Amino acid sequence: MPHDKLKYLHIDGYKGFGFPKWMMEVPIIGNLKGLKLEWCINCAELPPLWLLPLLEDLHIEKMGNLISFVGSMCKNVEGKKSLTIFPALKKLTIRILPNLERWHEEGSESVAFPELKTLAIKDCPKLKSIPTHVPLLTSLELNNCTEIKLRQISYLPMLSKLSISLYDMPLRGPDAFRPPKNLEELKIVRYENVYPLEEEGEQLISCQTRPVLRKLTIFASYCFLSCGPSKVVALEFWKYFAAVEYLVIHQCDNLVFWPEEELRSLKCLKNLLIFECRNLTGALTEQQQASSLEYYLTPPLPLPHLENIDFFRCPELVQVPFVCSKSLKDLQIEDCRKLNIGEMLTHVITDPTELKSLRITPSTHWSVWPDNMKHLPSLDSLEIGWYLGIGLVPPGLHLPSLLNLRIFECPGESFPPGLHLPSLVDLIITECPGIKSFPPGLQNRLPSLQHLSINNCPALERRCRSGGDYYDLVSSIPDLQIETYRHKGKSLLKNLPCIRAS
């Protein structure tokens, strides 16, 4: 038995048919703030956790015999039908409870969670509802809970973030899904039935009808005109999101052609992120090409407000048939090996004067730095690598605002002459054995750097170490890393985690 000051408890793999007696005593567990129970496979009831005055975070997982979340003991203690329980609980996660059917035993009208803000319900196929009284709930995740009526979500007044796996749930009629009025972020997972979203029987098709919803994530879903049922129905679905500014399309392998008409519905779009869509080519359909035979010269889809583009691991992507205005600030293209980067930069970015961040890695189709990219007055971060290399940068390129430069895995490259980087403070060079020296302009900047990292560049490393030509220039850098590491297989740099916007 633990002492009564215990604040956090994790129980995993308990095999008893009932929890120990000390867990049933509120004075002993009354100071708990966090509790996780998992693989307690023989227990059919929870301890009286609902009476704990300080419990803020509760995680229940893999309890196959649990049928009712709040046991019969609760009714006896409270002695009334409407129950206010879990007085301090802010976060609740329940996962893989295959027999959980209800939140409370029969005989009590409802269960209230007065302070609950985050609720995740995953793989509870028999649970028929979400809690009725959750006035402060702001984040909800539903995954594989096919008995829960989606209409219940509509009545959550404070809900701002929703992630939901829809599967084959009904989306029309009295149980239809209608997002709450204050919803700001929506993630749709494995959406297979595309229907227009409705509110009070009327379809929402204008930006003004839902000004709050700003972020939409589509994951492994059939929401696109080219792979959904009816074109008219799919378009009505997309028109609901007219005010969306942040769109993520992730692992939608059914998407092949460029979603031109879908994106045209998003009149306020500022951020477009497409990740791991293995079959996306970016090509237009025959009908789209017929309406604009020279679609690179007269692009079919201008996106005037777009500020951020991020394409990640789309191995079949060959075209990006739209034009960005000067509002574009951040461009990242990673592991899209069939995309002709030079052509894409030439035709998609007509005015790069506001571009602040550029990350391109890798591509087998980029051999010349585009003419329209030779004047980048606002660029403060540049990252190129995986055999693209600094050799692409034209001689004499002037990047007056560049603060961060990262170059990696460019075995046969060297710096171009005349490179002028007057604002540079952060320089990382990794696995570039062909780089043996710094150009004069960069040499002059070395003493002003805040961070210099050189890895697996033998010639350059020798010149930066004690006794080398550059030692006096780099020795005063506050954060200096000069080293050669050994590894087997692929570069360690490739295995580093990539932090992205969500």
Instruction: Copy the structure tokens of residue 70.
Output: 């709040």
Q: What's the CA gap between 225 and 237, in Å, rounded?
A: 10
Mean pLDDT comparison of 128-132, 294-298, 401-405, highest-scoring range:
401-405
For 244-395, where are the alpha helices, taking DSSP H only? 260-264, 286-291, 341-348
449, 422 Cβ separation under 8 angstroms = no
The whole-angstrom separation of Cα 151 and Cα 171 is 9
Residue type, 58: L
Whether the model pTM is above 0.75: yes
The candidate with the shortest Cα–Cα distance to 323, out of 281, 278, 260, is 260
**DSSP of 204-216:** --SGGG--S--EE
* Type of residue numbered 24: M
- pLDDT value of position 169: 52
* DSSP SS3 for 373: helix
Assigned CATH class of 1-145:
alpha beta
Q: How confident is the model at residue 175 (pLDDT cuts 50, 70, 90)?
A: low
Residue 198: predicted pLDDT: 52
pLDDT at residue 386, as a whole number: 62
**219 CB neighbour count, 10 Å cutoff:** 17
Chain CA centroid to CA 98, Å: 29
What does DSSP assign to residue 147? T
pLDDT at 162 over 90: yes
The answer to whether residue 493 scores a pLDDT higher than 80 is no
The pLDDT value recorded for residue 342 is 80
Residues of each domain in the chain carrying CATH 3.80.10? 1-145
Phi-psi group of 411: left, alpha or beta (phi > 0 → left; psi -120 to 50 → alpha; rest → beta): alpha
Instruction: Give the ranges where 33-166 is alpha helix by DSSP (H).
Output: 72-78
Q: Which ranges in 325-452 belong to alpha helices (H)?
A: 341-348, 440-445
Evaluate if residue 487 carries a pLDDT over 60: no
Is beta strand 479-483 parallel, antiparallel or unpaired with respect to 451-455? Answer: parallel
Q: How confident is the model at residue 223 (pLDDT cuts 50, 70, 90)?
A: confident
Which DSSP category does 128 fall into?
-
Structural tokens at position 458: 């033998």
Mean pLDDT across the stretch 183-201?
A: 71
Question: Is the predicted pLDDT of residue 314 greater than 90, yes or no?
Answer: yes
Distance CA 349, CA 318 (A): 16
Do residues 246 and 216 make contact, with C-beta atoms less than 8 angstroms apart?
yes
5-14, 101-110, 115-124: the lowest-pLDDT one: 101-110
pLDDT tens-place string over residues 359-396: 987 665 676 788 888 888 999 999 887 655 566 677 77
Q: How confident is the model at residue 273 (pLDDT cuts 50, 70, 90)?
A: very high
Entry field: residues in the chain: 502
